Structure 1
Amino acid sequence: VLDLAHEYNLRVVEDSAEAHGVRPRGDIACFSLFANKIISAGEGGVCLTRDPHLAEQMAHLRAMAFTKDHSFLHKKLAYNYRMTNMQAAVALAQTEQLDVILGLRRDIEKRYDEALRDVPGITLMPPRDVLWMYDVRAERSEELRAHLADEGIETRVFFKPMSRQPGYYSPEWPELNAARLSADGFYLPTHTGLTAQDQEFITGRIRAFYGAA
């Protein structure tokens, strides 16, 4: 993608919403600060770039394209995307602890992997560069999710693919991998406050469901 884009003098904007801690490779990387992300300010996001010109343009557009003397003259169509000082402080404090946060998430991923690797009916997903949410595919996934809900364990289904969105759906669409994944995939609880005991309880209920306790 990068080679093709640069050949035609195009910019690459990365959707890095859930990839805090992964080194960007495009021209601009956009990270989310929504409440359920690895680092959060409640809402909004951060764009990173190594290009001083792009950085200047983004700063200009996020603040309604004011002229430098701030005379309420807008030089182009722009946006009010400025982050509040309070949001910035919340996000910055977490950024300073990013290595610790990512380490805790690696521990969570390892514990899930070890507890679920041999469970019949559960398919683990490929290794992740950084753990946002722990995702699995499961046989009888709806029954399993209902079983976990009865035990007070919240789960969330995979994102639905574009081919299944009402605005785009057509019965002529082929059965894509994304559709197959969304049919039986879901996320297990994943947050830095999750303890080893919490995970033991969660994985124990999954193992019991499949008779692997």
Structure 2
Amino acid sequence: MNKTIPLSVPYLSLDILKNLEETIRTGWVSTGGRFIQEFEMKVADYTGVKRALSCQSGTAGLHLALRALGVGYEDEVIVPTLTFIAAVNPVTYTGAEPVFMDCDDTLNMDLDKLETFLKEECRHVKGRVINKRTNRTVKAVIVVHVFGNPLDFDRLMAIRNTYNVKIIEDATEALGSFNLSGRYANRHCGTIGDVGVYSFNANKIITTGGGGMIISHNQQLLEYAEFLSHQAKADPLYYTHDEIGYNYRMTNIQAAFGTDQIDRLEGFIETKIINYKLYEQALQGIEGLTLLPFREDARANHWFYSLYIEKEKYGMDARELLRKLNDHNIQSRPLWGLIHKQKPYVKHQQFCIEKANSFEGALINIPCSSSLTAEDIEIVTEVLTPQTKSHFMVPPLLARLR
């Protein structure tokens, strides 16, 4: 039986046991305890913001961000169609409607089409952006840094400032990623827009098992999001509630994981970049198989690795290759189904979606865990190499790391 190589699993150290032991010994296992504040401070320090607010998940963080920005009924939010559906569902939680936007070659939202939509498909009345087709106010844009690849911040914020729409950064995949040039150089994904959100799900670059984090330079926004996440409790002692709130708080046990994981983040990113380069070198020359690049003018965290398959050149399509990899106990997955085609969203507005259609059904993700070894990469590459090729040769960089 072949060794199982998982797609993306956390790299955990037994050093974390002392934190977990403290939560058990003190009884602080739920939504209070010192590790919550410690983890928030560490994330804020790492990303260069004044404060970070922990929450129950990345999805909860997006919901709180939308509520804190005042998004509600009769509003619209522009969202990408190429992303995980959790980036879009919170829009509907608020009663607002999503408008779906195409991607570019990086898989991120096509900012040219975003600007065209805001300029040509909307009216601008007294600071409001109104969709001509629906007469609804376009209140915000959710952008996702897909697989850890940052958007062009300068262009994004120029659009934000010109058209007066709020920007929510879904940085759930992009903790540790930033641009290397431009006005926003070296500022982390999640810290550029009006509000940013991270996720610590088990497959993310660091994990708390679950959980998320909201960051913003707007302290009033964070305070309101915190209020909502505590069931909108208006009095610290008495059970007075002025609004509908949510139980969206992170637990102390989750944060106990996070305080250890955040200290290891830069090491995880270094490993992921090395492993990406190993794949890149090993897959050179395989016709019809392209490892999608990360932006050269950014320090991407290289969270997920994507292969683009051209059936005519490679000899099999993405679905066939996916089956082959999994038959060899190599966990891999297809690209998400485009959200504007999903049953709950087929009737919602979409704008000039073209590029995303070309990626759907042609991309797969291959193993990328922080614990992935050179030997694992060699096994994956051997399976990816067509049998018609000559015997698989270990690339020089991979051989040196053995």
What displacement does 1:68 show? 4.1
Deviation per CA, 1:146-190: give whole Å up to 9, x if none. 2222221111000111232233448xx877221221211100011
Q: 1:186 to 1:210 in 2, by over 3 A?
A: farther
Runs of 4+ deviating beyond 6 Å: none
**Aligned counterparts of 1:55 and 1:118: Cα–Cα separation in 2:** 50
Please give the TM-score of this superposition, normalised by the length of structure 1.
0.89
Supply the AA of the counterpart residue of 1:135: S
* Structure ranking higher on relative contact order (CA contacts 8 Å, 6+ apart): 2
**Aligned counterparts of 1:40 and 1:210: Cα–Cα separation in 2:** 41
Partner of 2:109: none
1:116 counterpart (283, 296, 317): 283
What displacement does 1:5 show? 3.2
Supply the AA of the counterpart residue of 1:185: L
Deviation per CA, 1:42-75: give whole Å up to 9, x if none. 2231111122111211211111121243311112
Q: 1:164 to 1:10 in 2, by over 3 A?
A: closer
Residues 117, 124 of structure 1: 8 Å contact kept: no
Moved more, 144-153 or 103-112: 144-153
1:181 counterpart (359, 379, 391): 359
1:205 counterpart (374, 383, 396): 383
The alignment yields a C-alpha RMSD, in angstroms, of 2.1
**Aligned counterparts of 1:192 and 1:147: Cα–Cα separation in 2:** 23
The DSSP-based 3-state class of the residue aligned with 1:69 is coil
**Aligned counterparts of 2:301 and 2:363: Cα–Cα separation in 1:** 19
Give ranges in structure 1 of 5+ residues lacking alignment: none
Residues 121, 210 of structure 1: 8 Å contact kept: no
The percentage of aligned residue pairs carrying the same residue is 29
**Aligned counterparts of 2:163 and 2:249: Cα–Cα separation in 1:** 32
Moved more, 22-31 or 123-132: 123-132
Give ranges in structure 2 of 5+ residues lacking alignment: 1-155, 178-187, 393-402
Partner of 1:155: 332
**Aligned counterparts of 2:281 and 2:301: Cα–Cα separation in 1:** 17
Q: 1:209 to 1:72 in 2, by over 3 A?
A: farther
Please give the TM-score of this superposition, normalised by the length of structure 2.
0.49
The DSSP-based 3-state class of the residue aligned with 2:227 is helix
Residues 119, 210 of structure 1: 8 Å contact kept: no
2:205 counterpart (11, 16, 38): 38
Partner of 2:302: 131
Equivalent residues, number: 211
**Aligned counterparts of 2:307 and 2:330: Cα–Cα separation in 1:** 15
